[in-house]
Chain A
């Protein structure tokens, strides 16, 4: 090599790079590869038929795509009525064949808040703002996620309830009621303190661990009975909020309330059901299986009918509770059965060695679950949980059948308003509502895909 170093026939530099053949780059190559390649094979009669078929299907599909895009754009933009400066209402939209945006503007408040009194609407806004911040905090990993998650799971529902519903204390006797209600939680707090003290002492520590489920129940009851009145009292003293009955709630607010309530309650209930289904104890296992399979076998409407028409018969005569609460109970019953199956999938994906490892460390069943099994199982099924939540979010529309005005229900109600009755009002409304649902569901499904990829990578 070195002897020829200066020879004229030895190249001292690289040959110039040639352009890629024009059939491989640029728009033409892309078009060929992605559209025309599948229709260009006429070697045999069979292939020719397939190619011709592909050509017809492609042309038809392209036409359908263009037609749909054009129809949508034409409806939403080009032929639409945007402004109604003179306050003509329906007359402003009658001339055009497109969307009637003034209608959306006029009814936007109802879409968002239903019949919530406008002077109190800041409470809904505060609620939703906290929700948005909380979810953003958990989705984009910011520091102190655990604490924020605990806050969103336990404190936020109470705060949201107090904000949305309100709890007046200016009436006589209300403070008394709240204070007398505190006695019961105080006793529970005493029990919990005793349990905590016992757990710290060496002698009885594992007794407490063995009885963890019972203690957990006590803690939840404590949280509800002690937390609610105390927080309410503090908030009310600070704000002096007024009661807004649930029949005035509506629109996106009620959709979000039902969906969030459903997910927050169905997650722990579903977890218990999934564990129950895997339990060795026959009574626990079979009651879990029967509940899960029955609920999964029937449509949500019949669960809602059950909660709204049949449940009142099973309560003490004269006892009647809120229609919205009944619907939410129905949704929770329904969602927890599906959640249980998702979580069971996660539990089954955990290798047996993990359980055995936990046992060999001397951990009790609930310690194994809390420290080893559930963290892994829940992480692997996050996409499944999100998908269940998407389904739940879409299914909340069914509450309109038992006449609760969720986002779709309020739309149907506003469509009956004669002041805005035009041929295109319904389509405008459906378009807007569909877009709202779509944004929520699509972003959740993207998050689910993102989590799936992220988790998938960690397994390799």
Chain B
């Protein structure tokens, strides 16, 4: 490699034409870019041409007109069917698409909320000096993190099937409130009457007032050093005001209890469909599996986040005379959150994406009912899978945009 010892100019002057181009970083980068672009365009055009040829060969065409077709598939009663009032034969494929998105969103939102609560609790257990709590959290995390989620979904489905009473029995999940048998969970359903909107308005006013009070309390503390009972006032406002209005307006809400039929033909016995609120066992199994699985990951994130705060911070808080609880709330957690939020976001996204595993147990969300049943019915593989991919991308991008915004709010502002 004698050329390395030569000076750059000497090397360059020695070569001319093609060789000089090879050593020009810009020319080389352009060369590889052109090759990549040509390859991508080539692959895309071949794919499009082949797709056209394959479609004509099978006598199909490309287009999104299938959305207007009536859909006659039976879909499990879920949030989506409730929202769109779905009935087989009455609605279009577009409605099926919307209800499947609604089902994906509801399982994701429910999963995210409960996985966060359970995960934070486990993370704190994991850091606790209490041997029982600590070992429980450790065993839980190491067990659930290292077993595939799909297996856990199957397991919960099987457990529900085992513990649930038969479909004609009136099992109790929470005595007096929730019923439970192998057909699902049945509970009361609020029937809103006229005048309920005042209660909702009162709730909105309470929210605004609580926010305003918290703001004022913070300013007041900055100015005078006096603390106000923000938590207590907030709870009182949020619960008290709507309750008061609800009672004053004459309780404009009836409660519909599930109807348990004990007489008549055997197949009609059990809980009557469409009365009271209902949660399908598929939803419940998926919810349990997603929540418990994701909570194990969140717990580890929380533990790592809290441990990432230097020990000097809690010592400094102690030196200022803050009791441990307050030090945790005012000093440790705000700093830990900065470490926690980015990986927490990706766990939320993972949970949303993992909800697609419902395809294996028949909960009607996007992949199961739209990319599965509907695809088999209308046979438009390219369009449907492209749409599914777009929907997931949109959900992912929106979630990360929101979490980025939140992260920027809690981020450390450096000088």
Interface residues of A, Cβ cutoff 8 Å to B: 33-35, 37-38, 54, 57-58, 61-62, 64-65, 202-203, 205-207, 210-211, 213, 279-284, 287, 294, 296-302, 305-306, 309-310, 312-317, 361-362, 390, 394-395, 397-398, 400-401, 408, 412, 423, 426-427, 430, 433-434, 437-438, 441-442, 445
A412 touches B367 (CB 8 A): no
CB distance from B71 to the nearest CB of A (A): 19
Given contacts A210-B22, A299-B354, A317-B57, A430 and B135 within 8 Å (CB-CB): no
**Counting CB contacts under 8 A, is B132 at the interface?**
yes
CA A213 – CA B36 in complex, angstroms?
12
A37 contacts which of B36, B37, B129, B396 (Cβ < 8 Å)? B129
A438 touches B37 (CB 8 A): no
Given contacts A297-B393, A299-B392, A283 and B33 within 8 Å (CB-CB): yes
A residues in contact with B143, CB < 8 Å: 438
CA A401 – CA B154 in complex, angstroms?
13
B36 touches A287 (CB 8 A): yes
**Contacts A/B (CB < 8 Å), 9 sampled:** A33-B129, A207-B19, A298-B392, A302-B356, A306-B385, A310-B385, A317-B53, A408-B154, A445-B146
**Counting CB contacts under 8 A, is B82 at the interface?**
no
A residues in contact with B130, CB < 8 Å: 34-35, 38, 54, 58
A207 touches B22 (CB 8 A): yes
**Counting CB contacts under 8 A, is B217 at the interface?**
no
CA A287 – CA B37 in complex, angstroms?
9
Given contacts A61-B133, A280-B29, A305-B385, A299 and B356 within 8 Å (CB-CB): yes
Chain B residues 32-79 with CB under 8 Å of chain A are: 32-33, 36-37, 40, 46-47, 50-51, 53-55, 57
B158 contacts which of A206, A284, A426 (Cβ < 8 Å)? A426
**Counting CB contacts under 8 A, is B211 at the interface?**
no
B residues in contact with A284, CB < 8 Å: 32-33, 36
B133 touches A57 (CB 8 A): yes
B353 touches A298 (CB 8 A): yes
CA A299 – CA B354 in complex, angstroms?
7
**Counting CB contacts under 8 A, is B382 at the interface?**
yes
B residues in contact with A412, CB < 8 Å: 154
**Counting CB contacts under 8 A, is B151 at the interface?**
yes
B133 touches A400 (CB 8 A): no
With CB as the reference atom, state the residue of chain B lying closest to A390.
Answer: B146
B residues in contact with A423, CB < 8 Å: 162
B37 contacts which of A207, A283, A315, A316 (Cβ < 8 Å)? A283
CA A331 – CA B154 in complex, angstroms?
22
How many chain-B residues does the 8 Å CB contact rule pick out? 66
With CB as the reference atom, state the residue of chain B lying closest to A439.
Answer: B146
* Contact pattern, B 245-280, Cβ under 8 Å of A = 1, otherwise 0: 000000000000000000000000000000000000
B150 touches A397 (CB 8 A): yes
A residues in contact with B47, CB < 8 Å: 314
B146 contacts which of A302, A426, A441 (Cβ < 8 Å)? A441
With CB as the reference atom, state the residue of chain B lying closest to A30.
Answer: B131
A314 touches B135 (CB 8 A): no
CB distance from B347 to the nearest CB of A (A): 12
- List of 6 A-B pairs having minimum Cβ-Cβ separation, nearest first: A441-B146, A299-B353, A297-B396, A34-B131, A314-B47, A394-B148
Q: A297-B349, A441-B147 are in contact. List 13 more A-B contacts (CB 8 A).
A: A34-B130, A38-B128, A58-B130, A65-B135, A284-B33, A302-B371, A309-B385, A313-B51, A314-B47, A314-B50, A317-B57, A394-B149, A397-B151
Given contacts A210-B22, A210-B23, A430-B154, A401 and B146 within 8 Å (CB-CB): no
**Counting CB contacts under 8 A, is B10 at the interface?**
no
Stretch at the interface among B1-9, B223-231, B234-242, B305-313: B1-9
With CB as the reference atom, state the residue of chain B lying closest to A430.
Answer: B155
A residues in contact with B403, CB < 8 Å: none
A residues in contact with B46, CB < 8 Å: 314
With CB as the reference atom, state the residue of chain A lying closest to B134.
Answer: A34
CA A294 – CA B150 in complex, angstroms?
23
B28 contacts which of A62, A210, A315, A400 (Cβ < 8 Å)? A210
With CB as the reference atom, state the residue of chain B lying closest to A412.
Answer: B154
**Counting CB contacts under 8 A, is B388 at the interface?**
yes
Q: How many A-B residue pairs have CB under 8 A?
A: 168
A400 contacts which of B54, B354, B360, B388 (Cβ < 8 Å)? B360
* Contact pattern, B 293-308, Cβ under 8 Å of A = 1, otherwise 0: 0000000000000000
A427 contacts which of B158, B359, B386 (Cβ < 8 Å)? B158
B residues in contact with A294, CB < 8 Å: 389, 393
B residues in contact with A305, CB < 8 Å: 367, 371, 385, 388
**Counting CB contacts under 8 A, is B405 at the interface?**
no
B132 touches A35 (CB 8 A): yes
A315 touches B50 (CB 8 A): yes
B residues in contact with A362, CB < 8 Å: 4
CA A310 – CA B47 in complex, angstroms?
11
Given contacts A210-B22, A398-B150, A313 and B396 within 8 Å (CB-CB): no
CA A43 – CA B29 in complex, angstroms?
72
CB distance from A18 to the nearest CB of B (A): 27
CA A426 – CA B392 in complex, angstroms?
33
B132 touches A281 (CB 8 A): no
**Counting CB contacts under 8 A, is B204 at the interface?**
no
B150 contacts which of A202, A302, A408 (Cβ < 8 Å)? A408
CA A398 – CA B392 in complex, angstroms?
18
A residues in contact with B33, CB < 8 Å: 281-284
With CB as the reference atom, state the residue of chain A lying closest to B375.
Answer: A309
CA A202 – CA B14 in complex, angstroms?
13
B389 touches A397 (CB 8 A): no
**Counting CB contacts under 8 A, is B406 at the interface?**
no
B residues in contact with A400, CB < 8 Å: 150, 360
A310 touches B381 (CB 8 A): yes
CA A361 – CA B392 in complex, angstroms?
47
Given contacts A280-B29, A430-B158, A306 and B129 within 8 Å (CB-CB): no
CA A65 – CA B131 in complex, angstroms?
12
CA A437 – CA B87 in complex, angstroms?
42
With CB as the reference atom, state the residue of chain A lying closest to B381.
Answer: A309
B residues in contact with A302, CB < 8 Å: 356, 367, 371, 385, 388-389, 392
**Counting CB contacts under 8 A, is B320 at the interface?**
no
B residues in contact with A280, CB < 8 Å: 29
B residues in contact with A281, CB < 8 Å: 29-30, 32-33
With CB as the reference atom, state the residue of chain B lying closest to A282.
Answer: B33
CA A297 – CA B346 in complex, angstroms?
10
B151 touches A437 (CB 8 A): yes
CA A427 – CA B159 in complex, angstroms?
9
B129 touches A205 (CB 8 A): no
B residues in contact with A207, CB < 8 Å: 19, 22
**Counting CB contacts under 8 A, is B357 at the interface?**
yes
A residues in contact with B389, CB < 8 Å: 294, 298, 302, 306
CA A306 – CA B47 in complex, angstroms?
13
CA A309 – CA B356 in complex, angstroms?
17
CB distance from A387 to the nearest CB of B (A): 10
